[in-house]
A = this chain, B = another copy of it.
Amino acid sequence: MRSIQRKFTTENYRDGETLACKGVDAPFMGIVRSGMLREDRPTPQGRTHLLALTFANEALAPQGCVRAKCTLTSVGETEVMTCDQRTFEELASAIPRLQLNLLHLIQDQLAQAQDWQLLLGRKTASERVASMLVSFHQRHGRPDEMHLPMSRADLGQLTGLTLETVSRQMRALEKAGLIAMPLPTRVRVLDAVALHELTGDAPARVAA
């Protein structure tokens, strides 16, 4: 483990910086140590669409952004540990298990994308917003308060809703007492259980 960490290089990004994803020494894979990354994909209309976020302690799919033609941008001060392809291959030849771990990593990313497909496919606006908040909360490690340094428009792209609908749903959750928002970008989850029931993922209620 130590030997692995020594081979990785740590890079620091300020808010809004774009990670170079091409070239020989481009990051082949990486781990976000702090801060977060946003993954945007250009649309055929020349716009750009937010597809996913990578929070601290989550991994970057190897070159996923290149193949998927995505752009990785830091959100806030972000620290990323990366490893180029040659280095990874050196490590993998020493530790064969790494090759498989890498595969699992990207497979989990695929599974995550499919989860989100379910969300976008047949969930209502309130279910989508609740699902998103639960997902973020869990991935942050269930903190008292989360910082989501992104606009309502960004959250709308993630959930397939308009910024107005996102705002309305979040306000509704606040009025219902499930969350608190001291600032628009700061969210406290007050009732995680009730929030989870609104996701639409709650298992069918068992008859008493």
Q: How far is the CA of A29 from the CA of B112 in the complex (A)?
A: 20
Interface presence of A126 (CB below 8 A): no
Q: How far is the CA of A109 from the CA of B44 in the complex (A)?
A: 19
Interface size of A in residues (CB-CB distance below 8 Å):
41
Among candidates B46, B62, B68, B201, residue contacting A111 with C-beta atoms closer than 8 Å: B68
Q: Smallest CB-CB separation from A28: which chain B residue?
A: B103
Interface presence of A12 (CB below 8 A): no
Interface presence of A70 (CB below 8 A): yes
**By the criterion CB–CB under 8 Å, are B110 and A43 in contact?**
no
Minimum Cβ distance to chain B for residue A101 (Å) = 13
Using known A-B contacts A70-B114, A109-B110, determine if residue A201 contacts B44 with beta carbons closer than 8 Å: yes
Among candidates B43, B110, B118, B201, residue contacting A118 with C-beta atoms closer than 8 Å: B43
**By the criterion CB–CB under 8 Å, are B118 and A117 in contact?**
no
Of residues 63 to 121 in A, which have CB atoms within 8 Å of B's CB atoms?
63-64, 67-70, 99, 102-104, 106-111, 113-114, 116-118, 120-121
Q: Which residues of B contact A117 (CB under 8 A)?
A: 51, 113, 116-117, 120
Minimum Cβ distance to chain B for residue A158 (Å) = 8
Q: Which residues of B contact A44 (CB under 8 A)?
A: 200-203
Minimum Cβ distance to chain B for residue A61 (Å) = 7
Q: How far is the CA of A174 from the CA of B46 in the complex (A)?
A: 30
- Count this chain's copies in the assembly: 2
Using known A-B contacts A46-B204, A160-B120, determine if residue A51 contacts B103 with beta carbons closer than 8 Å: no
Q: Which residues of B contact A49 (CB under 8 A)?
A: 118, 121-122
Interface presence of A54 (CB below 8 A): no
Of residues 171 to 192 in A, which have CB atoms within 8 Å of B's CB atoms?
none
> Could you list 21 examples of A-B contacts with CB < 8 Å?
A44-B200, A44-B202, A44-B203, A45-B204, A46-B204, A49-B122, A51-B117, A51-B118, A62-B107, A63-B103, A67-B108, A67-B111, A68-B111, A68-B114, A69-B111, A103-B106, A109-B110, A110-B113, A120-B120, A120-B160, A121-B160
